[in-house]
Chain A
């Protein structure tokens, strides 16, 4: 099993450009999450999904959109990138209520917005 994978690993954008980050998991998990990690701030939840076709806002959703068209994939979109969105983005997945909360993380995508 590959676990949780993320593409791309690294990307540089100019302000105003758009991009999509892809997360894929092969563990048949119901729940998927997108976090951003900034120095000294831990991880903050952007959006999450509790199943195929569902999405919900997390702590810092502004400037991002997500889609969960297939159970195994969770896409994070930036419609008009801003320098404040320079960060490391982590995707995670977990079982539903039976999983007692353990989340499995991808290796991260480093995004630089100039």
Chain B
């Protein structure tokens, strides 16, 4: 079956530090890959996505590249801000099946200190 493994948190960084959150996946076929972000007390919001190998998703200074050879989709940001404090979820969407179900990783809590 499909699965997503994320770097365990929590992660605490100082403002302007470099961020990497690792994500690897197992899936049949050619899934689409996503990063969702959940701010305190809110629902999940799509941060970025990539739908095929070597695609790079980017948004709000965050980037992730779909690496089929290493089955990875690591999230990076060059300079984090306090406002980036949130829980980050990696997810995949199987290319087969009718429901386009998302499989989520367990989430990584990020805290950025001023």
Contacts and interface: CB of A to CB of B under 8 A. Distances in A.
A44 B100 CA distance: 14
Contact of B100 (A101, A104, A105, A106): A101
Given A42-B89, A100-B51, A105 B102 contact: no
**Which secondary structure dominates chain B's binding surface?**
strand
What range describes how many residues of A lie at the interface? Answer: 20 to 34
Contact of B102 (A50, A103, A107): A103
Interface of B: 4, 32, 34, 36, 42-46, 49, 51, 89, 93, 98-102, 104-107
Q: Which 6 A-B residue pairs are closest in the complex by CB-CB distance?
A: A101-B93, A42-B104, A105-B43, A105-B44, A42-B106, A101-B32
A105 B32 contact: no
Interface of A: 4, 31, 33, 40-45, 48, 50, 56, 58, 90, 92, 94, 96-97, 99-108
A108 B43 CA distance: 6
Nearest to B90: A42
Contacts of A107: 42-43
